[in-house]
Amino acid sequence: MSASTERKNRQAARAAGTDKKMLAAQEEAKKKAISKRRWTLGTIAVILLIALILFLDSGFLYTKTTALTIGDTKYSPAEVNYRYGNQYYTLLNQYGNYASMLGIDTSAGVAGLDKQDCPMLDGGTWKDYFLEAATNEMVQTKALNDYAAENGISLSEEEIAEVNDSLADMDSVAKERGYANADNFFAANYGNGVTTAIVREAGRLSTLASKAYTSYQDSLSYTDEQLEEYYQSLEGASDRFDYMIYTVTAPVEEDAEAPTEQALAEAQATAEAIYMAYADGTDIEDPQERFEVAVDSQLEGEQPTVRSAAYGSSLSEDYAEWMMAADREAGDATTTANDTGSSVVVFLSRDDNHYKTANVRHILVMAEASEDGTYSDEAKAAAKARAEEILAEYEAGEKTEESFAALAEQYSEDTGSNTNGGLYENIAKGQMVEEFDAFCFADHQAGDTAIVYGESSGYAGYHVMYYVGEGDLYSNTIARSDLLNRDMQEWIDGLTANYEAVPGSAYRRIG
């Protein structure tokens, strides 16, 4: 091999070696570039995932998207969730422990309602039920708020302050229940995104809607002639009836669905015998006593049932027409029969509610209950003594209605009237406890006072009474209430007729 050839070979070898190193370096650089790209893409994915988690956790999907549109207003899932949850909790507060009897499992709160069938809907769930109720409420609130805006109705500073004050202690309430703050409490119990601000705004809108509703209602008035005409059109449905009844129930044989013809005939025969004994007992003037004797003569030891102040609309169709006859008189009797037995009915009285209601003020002093919920004679005596002290204070003062009202606001334990001077207006017969009722309708003069005992399932104590005067005819009160309900419903139906709740893209996030 020549020197020149050898030199060329060495140059080629060096070139080849250099190329190999270069290729190796390039390959390594390529691997590093691929690895770096993979690392960069992975980092971006993690960052995006973290961003998504933060995005979801921020409540954006529940507060910045649209679940419903009503009129020109869009409502987020959080805003609808609050109304939806409010419907649920309102029902629970109304029925308490009996809510389970409606078929509601409250263990999962609002979150579990979409899995529970609602017996009040054909194939629907409790979520459907409460969401429909919430939507209807929102439509009505929106329509009333628009009406308020068109008619210059707005909330006063005091009314706005009342809304704000109702939420003033929510942070402390939330912490007592184990939540960091009120926002966390509302979100946990009403749904994602629900905050104190949303609850406050819902309260403001509802308060304004209520004010608009009341404003229109206050504009309605009816003449005495209109009220009387309406009451007469009820044809006795609101009249009050006192009567006595004894029902002879026909026995049903085991495994049978209804009484036999013979059992029904025997029940009717017994009822007829009671009726004849009553008809023959004219030596007893009092119809109630005569009927009691008649029943005992056929069924020793048995007594009829006395039904007082039953409205005409609630009378059984078996004897309603007979009871409402214009010529019906106290002491009249009849027998009726149906597929379960026979009854004897004695008419005592009918009240068409054309009497004056009563306006009174009172101061309630409650007796202190024992640990078992009963009231000792000592506790009642102490309450009576305190009532006498309050009446003596009134007697020693100006002895005016205003001075009595001031004492009621100072001393009365009746939360239903101790902020308005103890006043109750247009009290109807039978509306109050027996002793209270007796005072109201005892032909008092304005300014008359007394101390009367009172007791119900919720209290025992004494009422310091002040008679203000007569109120409206009770028949007018009934008619006015019915007409207001009818006319307000027609107004609301017309007001909301052009409003439609249109689901938005985030509707599925409700509940």
Q: Looking at the domain assignment, is residue 437 inside a domain?
A: yes
| H or E element that contains 450 | strand 449-455
Both 86 and 202 in one domain: the answer is yes
pLDDT at 99: 82
State both tokens at 290: 């005569």
Both 332 and 276 in one domain: the answer is yes
Q: Looking at the domain assignment, is residue 507 inside a domain?
A: no
Using alpha carbons, select from 454, 415, 449 the residue that is nearest to residue 437: 454
CA distances from 165 to 101, 157, 191 (A): 35, 12, 23
Whether residue 423 contacts residue 407, with contact meaning beta carbons closer than 8 Å, is answered with no
Q: Looking at the domain assignment, is residue 21 inside a domain?
A: yes
Query: How far apart are alpha carbons 213 and 217 in whole angstroms?
Result: 6
| H or E element that contains 471 | strand 460-473
Residues 6+ apart with CB under 8 A from 495: 140, 143, 144, 147
pLDDT at 151: 97
Indicate the residue among 351, 384, 416 that finishes a domain: 351
CA distances from 215 to 156, 212, 227 (A): 14, 5, 21
Using alpha carbons, select from 220, 215, 188, 183 the residue that is nearest to residue 198: 183
Radius of gyration of the chain (CA): 39
What is the number of residues in the chain?
A: 511
Mean pLDDT by 10 residues, the chain (511 residues): 52 51 60 54 50 52 93 96 94 86 86 90 92 97 98 97 93 94 93 93 97 97 98 96 97 91 96 97 95 96 94 96 96 97 97 97 96 93 97 97 97 95 95 95 96 94 98 97 97 96 94 84
pLDDT tens figures, 141-161:
999 999 999 999 999 999 999
**Cβ count within 10 A of residue 166:** 13
In angstroms, how far apart are the furthest CA atoms of the chain?
164
State both tokens at 349: 């009285």
pLDDT tens figures, 261-294:
999 999 999 999 999 999 999 999 999 999 999 9
User: For 367, which DSSP code?
Assistant: P
Which amino acid belongs to residue 369? A
Both 383 and 398 in one domain: the answer is yes
Using alpha carbons, select from 205, 179, 114 the residue that is nearest to residue 187: 179
Indicate the residue among 329, 351, 373 that finishes a domain: 351
Whether residue 482 contacts residue 229, with contact meaning beta carbons closer than 8 Å, is answered with no
Which amino acid belongs to residue 297? S
Q: Looking at the domain assignment, is residue 59 inside a domain?
A: no
* Burial tier of 290 (Cβ tally within 10 Å: 0-12, 13-18, 19+): buried
CA distances from 384 to 42, 371, 373, 436, 444 (A): 82, 20, 19, 15, 22
Both 140 and 164 in one domain: the answer is yes
Both 72 and 211 in one domain: the answer is yes
Q: Looking at the domain assignment, is residue 407 inside a domain?
A: yes
In which residue are the tokens 């101390």 written? 451
Give me the number of domains the chain comprises: 4
pLDDT at 511: 84
Indicate the residue among 351, 372, 389 that finishes a domain: 351
Helix (H/G/I), strand (E/B), else coil: 351: strand
Query: How far apart are alpha carbons 226 and 232 in whole angstroms?
Result: 10
Using alpha carbons, select from 269, 293, 264 the residue that is nearest to residue 280: 293
Using alpha carbons, select from 241, 207, 431 the residue that is nearest to residue 323: 241
Both 169 and 195 in one domain: the answer is yes
| H or E element that contains 297 | helix 287-298
Q: Which domain holds residue 305?
A: 240-351
Please give the full DSSP string across 399-441, using - where no structure is assigned. -SHHHHHHHHHHH---TTTTTTTTEEEEEPTTSS-HHHHHHHT
Both 301 and 347 in one domain: the answer is yes
Both 166 and 276 in one domain: the answer is no
Both 37 and 157 in one domain: the answer is no
Whether residue 244 contacts residue 307, with contact meaning beta carbons closer than 8 Å, is answered with yes
**CATH code (residue 154):** 1.10.4030
Q: Looking at the domain assignment, is residue 505 inside a domain?
A: no
Query: How far apart are alpha carbons 313 and 126 in whole angstroms?
Result: 32
**CATH code (residue 302):** 3.10.50.40
Query: How far apart are alpha carbons 381 and 500 in whole angstroms?
Result: 61
Both 20 and 82 in one domain: the answer is no
pLDDT at 45: 53
Both 212 and 108 in one domain: the answer is yes
Q: Looking at the domain assignment, is residue 61 inside a domain?
A: no
pLDDT at 51: 45
Residues 6+ apart with CB under 8 A from 244: 287, 288, 291, 304, 305, 306, 307, 345, 346, 348
Both 263 and 158 in one domain: the answer is no
φ and ψ at residue 392, rounded to 5 degrees: -65, -40
Residues 6+ apart with CB under 8 A from 120: 129
Q: Looking at the domain assignment, is residue 131 inside a domain?
A: yes
